[in-house]
Structure 1
Amino acid sequence: MTTFATFDAADYLDSEEAIAEFLAAAMEDPNPDVFLSALGAVTRARGVAKIAAEAGLGRESLYKAIAPGAHPRYETIQKLLRALGVQMSISPRHAH
């Protein structure tokens, strides 16, 4: 029987460019839990304790903010994105 390791995107998020592309793709999904899950993967890739400290959040608060179904405040997301070394940008939506 063949066994496979569980896939974790955090294992592949090893550059700012990869992280930015990963989060940008997640933001395109209409389900907000996809973005929160992506934030969780990036946070794990960078180190939860380190990111929580840099964002000024407790680890427990950070986990709650990115849990599926969470409704984090905008300022919490901004702090987290800053700690992760990325920023949001707005652009016009192109017709498909």
Structure 2
Amino acid sequence: MNKKVAAAVSHHEREVAELRADRELAVEYLKAAMESLDDPDDRAAALLALRTVAEAYGGLGAVAAEAGISRESLYRTLSAKGNPTLKTLLAVLKAVGMKLSVEPGQHVAA
């Protein structure tokens, strides 16, 4: 009764592979996650999404080196409790070939 079991791939590994294979998907994935930065209770989602994109585009060590920060600092910054500076955020985005942009939001009349 020796059945061969196919090697399981974790959700995270699959997500990283899909983002690596489809640049447009990675951009849309990160754009959607970045919307959570507006919510102090849900900021972790954006940071973890950026971490996943960093893993897909070179790995955290390579992205940290390109961004000019230590790998350990990048791990802390892109964690659920991370709080990156604007300088770090821009450097990491640049290292993965993206940039920060602004779009109009809902206008609240005064």
SS of the residue corresponding to residue 49 of structure 1 reads helix
* Correspondence for 1:41: 52
1:16 lines up with 2:28 in the alignment: no
SS of the residue corresponding to residue 41 of structure 1 reads helix
CA distance in 1, matches of 2:62, 2:9: 26
* Correspondence for 1:72: 84
CA distance in 1, matches of 2:60, 2:34: 21
Amino acid paired to 2:9: A
Q: Moved runs in structure 1, 4+ residues, more than 4 A?
A: none
1:27 lines up with 2:31 in the alignment: no
1:85 lines up with 2:89 in the alignment: no
Cα deviation for residue 4 of structure 1 reads 5.5
Kindly, what percent of the aligned residue pairs are identical? 33
Report how many aligned residue pairs link the two structures: 93
8 Å contact from structure 1 (residues 16, 85) kept in 2: no
CA distance in 2, matches of 1:5, 1:54: 29
Q: Which runs of 5+ in 2 are unaligned?
A: 1-6
RMSD between aligned residues: 1.8
1:60 lines up with 2:72 in the alignment: yes
Q: Which runs of 5+ in 1 are unaligned?
A: none
